[in-house]
Structure formats: structure tokens, C-alpha cells
Amino acid sequence: MTSPTARRSHDREILALAVPAFGALVAEPLFLMADSAIVGHLGTAQLAGLGIASAVLTTVIGVFVFLAYATTAAVARRIGAGDRRAAVQQGVDGIWLALLLSAGLVLLTAALAPQAADLLGASPTAAPYAVTYLRISALGIPAMLVVLAATGVLRGLQDTRTPLLVAVAGFAANTALNLGLVYGAGLGVAGSAWGTVLAQNAMAAAYLVVVVRGARREGAGLRPDAAGIRACARAGGPLLVRTLSLRAVLLIATAVAATLGDAEIAAHQITMAIWSFVAFALDAVAIAGQAIIGRHLGAGDVAGTRAATRRMVEWGIRAGLLLGLLIVLARPLYVPLFTADPTVQARLGTVLLLAALTQPVGGVVFVLDGVLMGAGDGGYLAAAMLATLVVFAPAALAVPGLGGGLTALWWAMNLFMLTRAAFLVLRVRTGRWLVTGAVRA
């Protein structure tokens, strides 16, 4: 049993990493919320177009979140092993991988924007706005991937404060640019896209300055290293599968909601915005887990790894309970900010309760996901998420035919979270993920 002194030590470390990480994480949904609030005053079609485009971009960028996760774990292991130069070098290789991947993504996103909008069911009035936003925003993809990789470097170095500062500055710049370009310059939806692209590039530049300075200080190379880039790609491969499966779940949910009616898809979009915001809050503890677990395993400290894991799970459950209560109790405050439509508000009543119901489970899911990522256990995470997708997809796709409506869809979402929790808890109990050393064999 962990002593009170050890628990306080874990708490201080978790707080030191998780609080700044939370601030950086919530900047992402705040970007979307700010864009939605600004574009929403242009008209329903413009907002619908932004919603479709944002779903595509979130999926495209989210698929490559392994650039942050795999880099965090690999860098943290080397920090635990006492090799700071190798840790920074690993991070530089991750940034080069991000740049290589982004080249093709820009072209594909711009070229396939009309097909993507059509696939997600954009109406004839909303589709042109979705395509415009997508094609301009594609230019920000290299910056977004660099931000992911560089964030992973700093997290692995046990630094979550710098990403917070960059995220806050980026959010402020994004909001100011969007207001100026959408209304001041009269560019409409295109102005919102350009404002976001400019803010993202400024964030990437700030990160590169920090990483380059760190590399020079530690004597790490800045040129692309083929072997190092390949190693980053191999580490990220399983996490790519894991993330693709997760994104498939979210896209299936959106596609099913779109078949249920305008009020249903609107209510689903609002619930997903709240759900995503809460998920980012829970993910802050998971990010602390990635950095802490990677460092402990790199140092060969299995007992410390287990103790930190137990404490973070306790944090996850408590945070989930608190956030679930906030979702329910704060409804009168935030629902009117999203919609004044009484039909949509009525749909939200039950669905938000369902979203709140599994937040304690979500706390466990996010923490253990971060723990296993920190351990470099990507292969298991990929297999578990694929299996979870197999459970979720039939349940969600059956909703329209069974006439269960949006409520039934969110019961399927809760099934998704419970299934994830089961797989993660089973893995952690086996202890097979506890592989020590500077590099996971």
C-alpha cells in the first residue's frame, strides 16, 4: 500500500504536469468553439459548413496524434535513463517525421474536399462553405503536425508549461485574426480559415524555436536522420491504428446522427463539443501519465510505475465524477449559448445525461490509455481499439433501423466507453506492459 508521503509526492508531480497540460488541451476545442461562435453569426449554412469541415480536419489531424503520444513516451524513457541528448534527438526525429507526413496530407485534403463534404452529408447550401474552409485550412496541416510532434518532445522532457503558453497565445491570436478577417475584412468563412492557418503557423514557429534551442544546448543534431525517423514511424504505427479506430467510432456516430434529422444532428454536435471538452480535461491526467510512466520505466522503477498508475486512476475517477456532475448541473448555463431552438434543447436533455453518466469510466479509460502509451504498449492499444470498434459499430449502425433516435445512439457511445475500459483494465492487471529500459525492446 502506498504511504501518505508517497501519495503526496505523486499528487504534486501529477498536478505539476496535468494542470498546464489541461490548459493546453482545452485550447483545441476552444479554437473550434471560437470559430463556431464567430461563423455562426454569418448564417446557418456557413455554420453547418464549418461543422462538416471541422469534422474532416479533426479526423485528419487526430489520426496523426501519435506524433505527440509516441514521442512523449520515447523521450520520457530516455530522460528516465539519464540520456538527455538522446531524448532531444528522438524529438527532433519526430518533428522531421511530421513534416514528411504533412506534404501529402495537404494535397489530399485540398483535392478531396468536395468528396469529404459529400461523404459527411453536407447539404447543397452548406457544401460550398465546407469546401472553402477545408481547402484553405489544408495549408495549416504542416504546422498542426509540427505542433503535435514538438508538444510530445516537451511533454517527454516533463515540460507541460511551455505548450500551455503557446496554446494560450495561439488561441488569442486565432480569435483576433478570425474576428478581423471574417468581419473586418469581410472574408466570411474563408477569413475564419485563414485566421486559423496563420495562428497555427505562429504556434509551430514558437515550438521550433524552443526545440532548436534545446537541441543545440544538448548537442543533438538538427538534420533529418533516416534511422531515427524510421524508428519514430515504427513506434507510431500501432498508435496510428489505434487512433484510426477511435476516429472511425466518432465518424460513425456523426454519420448516424445525420440520418436522424436536423435537430438530432445539431444536438449531437453540441453534445460532442461538450464531451470532447471534458475528454480533453481527463486527458490532462493521461498526458501526465505518459510522461511519468515513461520516465519511471526508463529508470527501471517498476514499483514507482505501479504506484503512480494507482494514484492516477484514483485521480481519473474523481475527475470523472466531478465533470459528470458539472455537465448535468451547468446545463442551464451552457445550453443557451449553443442554441435557442427548443427542439434541439429538448433533444439535449436526455443525451447530456447519458454523456455525463460514464464520465467516471472515462476517467479510468483516459488514465490507463496514457499509462500504456507511456509504457510504449502501442500494439495492445491498437488491438483493443479495433476490438472496441467491432463492438460499437453494429450497435450504432442499428440505431436508425430500430428507431431508437439520438438517445439510443448515445447508449451506444456509452457501450463504447465501457468496452474500452474493460480492455484497458485487463491489460494493466496482467503486468505485461511493464517493460523497462531506455528503449522498449
96-126 tens-digit pLDDT: 999 999 988 899 998 998 998 888 777 788 8
Q: What is the pLDDT of residue 73?
A: 87
User: Mean pLDDT over all residues of the chain?
Assistant: 88
Residues of the chain with pLDDT below 70 are 1-3, 28-29, 441
pTM of the predicted structure, to 2 decimals: 0.84
Long-range contacts of 11-16 (CB under 8 A, 24+ apart): 11/311, 13/288, 13/292, 13/308, 14/285, 14/288, 14/292, 14/308, 14/311, 14/312, 14/315, 16/160
- The C-alpha torsion from 160 through 71 and 201 to 174, rounded to 10°, is -40
Q: Which DSSP letter does residue 123 get?
A: -
Type of residue at 11? D
Q: What is the pLDDT of residue 29?
A: 65
Q: What is the pLDDT of residue 361?
A: 95
345-390 tens-digit pLDDT: 888 888 999 999 999 999 999 999 999 999 999 999 999 999 999 9
Q: What is the rounded CA–CA span in Å between residue 410 and residue 405? A: 9
Q: What is the pLDDT of residue 10?
A: 73
